[in-house]
Amino acid sequence: MVLIACIVYEGYRMMRPTVKQEDAGKMLFEVTYFQMEVLNTSLMDALKVSYTDDLNALKLAAYSAQYSHERMVRAYGTGNLQSLSALGQLLDMITKSQIGGNRPLTDNERDLLTQYSTNFAELLPAYSALLDINNRIAASQANYISQIGGNLEGLFSES
């Protein structure tokens, strides 16, 4: 009787669909990298705008990228990946420029967006290789991302 029960149970187990679980860290990385790509596209689009209200899409993309990157930092630890405070600085710059209402962008704001966009574009290749084949943070890429983050932060101290 026990043998029949075991055979029936094993037959049932073989027939039911099995659910393969994905690595949550890898999936978080994929979402974050996608957000970084969206931010890059929004930065390029922002170079064509003339008024502060036209920066709303960039503001949303920067917020999403910052939010997801911070989740990556929390998931993998600050010893492996650093925050990108330059994303928050970009949000602050856009918010400050929009406080006075819709107005034309100044030359300084345009220059800052151009420099930020150029520097940020360098971050994407490193971000795409951030996880190694074992889905762990690649230290060399994390260091390079940190370096680019520092370059982006420096743009705000110059303006």
Domain parsing of the chain, residue ranges: 23-158
Give 120-132 pLDDT, tens digit per residue: 999 999 999 999 9
CA distance 36 to 121: 10
Quick one: tokens of 153? 């932060």
Of 143, 86, 140, give the one whose Cα is nearest residue 115: 86
Annotation: CATH topology of 23-158: Four Helix Bundle (Hemerythrin (Met), subunit A) (1.20.120)
Give 67-101 pLDDT, tens digit per residue: 999 999 999 999 999 999 999 999 999 999 999 89
pTM: 0.86
| Amino acid type, 97 | S
Query: How far is C-alpha 152 from the chain's CA centre?
Result: 15
Give 1-42 pLDDT, tens digit per residue: 655 655 666 766 666 666 667 789 999 999 999 999 999 999
Of 6, 66, 3, 57, give the one whose Cα is nearest residue 35: 66
Query: How far is C-alpha 10 from the chain's CA centre?
Result: 44
Quick one: tokens of 7? 């055979």
Residues pairing with 131 in the sheet: 137
Of 10-19, 84-93, 105-114, 144-153, the range with the lowest mean pLDDT is 10-19
> Which sign, positive or negative, has the C-alpha torsion 55, 56, 57, 59?
positive
| Amino acid type, 77 | G
Q: What single-letter DSSP state applies at residue 131?
A: B
- At 88, which helix (H) or strand (E)? helix 85-99
